[in-house]
């Protein structure tokens, strides 16, 4: 075999219009509070991840579906203008997916999603030809699980690294876990996945505290896991690393003044995809992603807040 190694990234999943209202504090159930700003922005976990990876230099193809409506056009324009190949994004005869987001003064958010066109994406839309140049396939759980499994299978068959962001959390079939080379979860998703016995260590915990978590993931067939911890950074659990000391790597947080953490996890995931496709180790990819996601949290919105590789390198110093 000759030729350059594959470097493409195929992202399969959701595109949503983010309807965001900014408020001092989030309302309690039954309560009405005043907002102090409203914006409609392109979003959806997969669109965000695709844009994040593309802005960081990845060659990204997005597979998904939007409606024949202005939100759909906005999403195609925003992803395409970030350099993403959108020729495989379908236009369905239902409304584009939306996410209704509230963000409080501390940058904390709450989100409700209506899947719309994302729900029309089927396994048949996941064409193997799209994966021929894939080094990394990036998946989340905002489209039907059968479609996610089909994409994982296509990525696996193409020899790509399958990166599964288990978000928003749902139970997944064993088959999907088996096809996933790297699992990416926040602390909440990690404890839901492992079950009630799982204690996710706090920010200051050392490698010893993470060892049982690594081992529980490995027992479930997940050898390589990234756990994000919000402002506290992240942890790489790599059961395939040779020495025990390399199996758990703590990635220190990047200290920033967060304005809006919406989509920070997607920036992290897209950045991991971009760096894995470029040939980085998992720990190096996570360290880079930590800076990219922190930068994303310093600006309002999601895709427009995502940094370039040069901006990440500048902050890394
Ligand atoms: P999610 O948004 O999926 O819940 P996290 O909250 O764990 O995920 O955030 C994902 C990543 O984004 C973190 O691991 C971290 O690198 C970065 N991040 C999130 N919030 C902040 C913050 N306030 N300051 C710095 N980095 C942050």
pLDDT tens for the chain, 317 residues long, are 447 889 999 999 999 999 999 999 999 999 999 999 999 999 999 999 999 999 999 999 999 999 999 999 999 999 999 999 999 999 999 999 999 999 899 878 898 999 999 999 999 999 999 999 999 999 999 999 999 999 999 999 999 999 999 999 999 999 999 999 999 999 999 999 999 766 889 877 888 999 999 999 999 999 999 999 999 999 999 999 988 889 999 999 999 999 888 889 999 999 999 999 999 999 999 999 999 999 999 998 789 999 999 999 999 88
Q: Is the CB of 258 under 6 A from ligand 1?
A: yes
pLDDT of residue 226: 98
Q: From ligand 1's centre to the CA of 88, what distance in Å?
A: 30
Distance set, CA 25 to CA 113, 229, 250 (Å): 20, 22, 32
The answer to whether 144 and 244 have CB atoms below 8 angstroms apart is no
Q: Is 266 assigned a catalytic role?
A: yes
Q: What integer pLDDT is reported at residue 197 of this predicted model?
A: 62
The reply to whether ligand 1 has any atom less than 6 angstroms from the CB of 109 is: no
Closest residue by Cα to atom 19, ligand 1, is 230
Query: What percent helix, strand, coil does the chain show, rounded to 5?
Result: 40, 25, 35
Helix (H) or strand (E) run with residue 131 in it: none
b/e string for 100-120 if b means 16 or more Cβ within 10 A? ebbbbeebebeeebebbbbbb
Q: Is the CB of 256 under 6 A from ligand 1?
A: yes
CA distance 310 to 133: 25
Report how far ligand 1's centroid is from the alpha carbon of 231 (Å): 5
Mapping DSSP to helix (H, G, I), strand (E, B) and coil, where does residue 163 land?
strand
Please tell me if the CB atom of residue 268 comes closer than 6 angstroms to any atom of ligand 1: yes
- Measure 3 CA to ligand 1 centroid, in angstroms: 37
Using alpha carbons only, give the angle 181, 164, 265 rounded to the nearest 5 degrees.
130
């Amino acid at each position: 075999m000759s030729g350059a190694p594959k470097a493409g990234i195929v992202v399969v999943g959701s595109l949503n219009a983010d309807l965001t209202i900014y408020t001092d504090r989030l309302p309690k159930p039954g309560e009405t509070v005043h907002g102090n700003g409203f914006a409609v922005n392109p979003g959806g976990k997969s669109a965000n991840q695709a844009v994040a990876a593309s802005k960081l230099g990845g060659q990204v193809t997005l597979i998904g579906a939007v409606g024949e409506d202005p939100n759909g056009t906005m999403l195609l324009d925003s992803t395409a203008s970030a350099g993403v190949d959108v020729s495989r994004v379908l236009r369905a005869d239902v409304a584009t997916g939306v996410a209704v987001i509230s963000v409080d003064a501390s940058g904390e958010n709450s989100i409700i999603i209506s899947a719309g066109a994302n729900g029309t994406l089927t396994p048949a839309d996941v064409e193997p030809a799209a994966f021929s140049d894939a080094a990394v396939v990036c998946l989340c759980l905002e489209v039907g699980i059968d479609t996610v499994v089909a994409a994982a299978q296509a990525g696996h068959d193409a020899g790509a690294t399958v990166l599964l962001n288990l978000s928003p959390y749902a139970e997944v079939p064993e088959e999907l876990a088996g096809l996933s080379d790297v699992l990416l979860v926040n602390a909440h998703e990690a404890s839901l996945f492992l079950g009630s016995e799982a204690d996710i260590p706090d920010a200051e915990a050392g490698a010893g505290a993470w060892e049982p978590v690594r081992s529980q993931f490995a027992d479930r067939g997940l050898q390589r896991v990234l756990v994000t911890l919000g402002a506290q950074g992240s942890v790489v659990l790599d059961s395939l690393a040779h020495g025990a000391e390399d199996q758990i790597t703590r990635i220190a947080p990047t200290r920033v003044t967060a304005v809006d953490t919406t989509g920070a996890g997607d920036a992290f995931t897209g950045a991991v995809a971009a760096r894995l496709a470029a040939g980085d180790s998992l720990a190096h990819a996570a360290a880079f992603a930590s800076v990219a996601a922190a930068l994303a949290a310093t600006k309002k919105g999601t895709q427009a807040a995502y940094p370039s590789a040069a901006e990440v390198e500048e902050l890394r110093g």
